[in-house]
């Protein structure tokens, strides 16, 4: 199982790196977050700062998404990290699927994902289908239906992921509401869990025609049964700054 997980992660990383070279578009940002009520695996509340490196791009046959979080508790010297690599292969771009121009999905992708955490969370490999929707009032909306295999645990489960982006406001106050919701089923000793991080940000990049490539606002992080630990609930309002480059 460990060998299979290493092979899966290596393949995903190679595909992501190669595909980014010929990207139709790409955006990379660094995010700075701070909150006061994160939960440790023992249930202790701590304050900490998080730095996130995030990259998204589109290429001839699909899309790429990658991020890594580096967390540093305010009262301890130890740091930890959590990362995901998520390439998708578009059935529409590859000419395997024709979609209506009126409504419904704008694309359907074969989606891969590899999670590589440090700490009590375990590495996981996921694969499934990603529907990207149009004409539903969002600038971006996707729903992913995934097979999930947590490495080191017996069995497997499913995961549903919803991701969205909605821009609104005025020229003086260009705002955006974005985020995701993950639901993962129970798997061996890991309990069913729900993880969501909605954001409300003021987009200085839109306000200044990208002369000030910053976004500033708040994020709410909620995780029921964090790390799959029964009864471990985290609810954290976070200050958030995004620098786009």
Summarised one tens digit per residue, pLDDT across range 177-215 is 999 999 999 999 999 999 999 999 999 999 998 899 999
Extract the runs of DSSP E, i.e. beta strands, from the chain.
25-39, 45-59, 62-73, 80-85, 88-90, 105-117, 124-133, 140-150, 157-169, 174-184, 193-196, 199-203, 214-224, 233-244
pLDDT at 156: 95
Can you tell me the mean pLDDT for 166-173?
94
pLDDT at 17: 54
Distance from C-alpha of 42 to C-alpha of 93, rounded to nearest angstrom: 47
Can you read off the two tokens belonging to residue 41?
């695996």
Q: Which residues contact 119 (CB under 8 A, 6 or more apart)?
A: 41, 80, 82, 227
Question: Between 2 and 204, whose confidence is greater?
Answer: 204
Lowest mean pLDDT of 77-81, 85-89, 113-117, name the range: 77-81
* Backbone angles phi and psi of 40, in degrees to 5: -85, 170
Phi/psi class of residue 165: alpha, beta or left (left: φ > 0; alpha: ψ in -120 to 50)? beta
Assess whether pLDDT exceeds 50 at residue 83: yes
Query: 167, exposed or middle or buried, with CB in 10 Å at 0-12, 13-18, 19+?
Result: middle
pLDDT at 79: 84
Assess whether pLDDT exceeds 70 at residue 131: yes
Q: Cβ distance 71 to 53 under 8 Å?
A: no
Given the DSSP bridges, would you call strands 199-203 and 124-133 parallel, antiparallel or unpaired?
Answer: unpaired
pLDDT at 11: 53
Distance from C-alpha of 197 to C-alpha of 38, rounded to nearest angstrom: 13
Assess whether pLDDT exceeds 80 at residue 9: no
Q: Cβ distance 164 to 138 under 8 Å?
A: yes
pLDDT at 138: 96
Phi/psi class of residue 99: alpha, beta or left (left: φ > 0; alpha: ψ in -120 to 50)? beta
Q: What is the mean pLDDT of the chain?
A: 90
Q: Which residues contact 14 (CB under 8 A, 6 or more apart)?
A: none
Among residues of the chain, what percentage have pLDDT more than 90?
78
pLDDT at 2: 45
Can you tell me the mean pLDDT for 167-174?
94
Can you tell me the mean pLDDT for 112-136?
93
Assess whether pLDDT exceeds 60 at residue 14: no
With cut-offs at 50, 70 and 90, classify the pLDDT of residue 161: very high
């Amino acid at each position: 199982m460990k060998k299979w997980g290493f092979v899966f992660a290596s393949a995903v990383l190679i595909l992501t790196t190669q595909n980014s070279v010929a990207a139709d578009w790409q955006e990379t940002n660094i995010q700075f977050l701070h909150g006061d009520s994160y939960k440790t695996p023992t249930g202790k509340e701590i304050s900490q700062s998080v730095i996130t490196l995030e990259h998204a791009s589109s290429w001839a046959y699909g899309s790429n998404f990658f991020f890594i979080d580096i967390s540093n508790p305010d009262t301890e010297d130890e740091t930890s990290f959590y990362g995901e690599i998520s390439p998708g292969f578009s059935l529409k771009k590859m000419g395997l699927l024709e979609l209506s121009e009126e409504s419904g999905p704008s694309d359907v992708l074969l989606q891969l994902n590899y999670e590589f955490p440090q700490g009590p969370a375990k590495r996981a490999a996921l694969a499934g289908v990603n529907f990207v929707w149009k004409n539903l009032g969002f600038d971006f909306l996707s729903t992913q239906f995934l097979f999930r295999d947590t490495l080191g645990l017996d069995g497997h489960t499913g995961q549903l992921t919803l991701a969205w982006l909605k821009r609104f406001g005025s020229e003086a106050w260009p705002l955006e509401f974005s985020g995701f919701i993950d639901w993962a089923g129970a798997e061996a000793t890991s309990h069913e869990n729900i993880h969501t991080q909605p954001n409300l940000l003021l987009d200085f990049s839109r306000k200044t025609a990208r002369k000030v490539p910053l976004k500033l606002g708040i994020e709410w992080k909620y995780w029921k049964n964090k790390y799959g630990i029964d009864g471990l609930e985290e609810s954290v309002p976070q200050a958030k700054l995004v620098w786009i480059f």
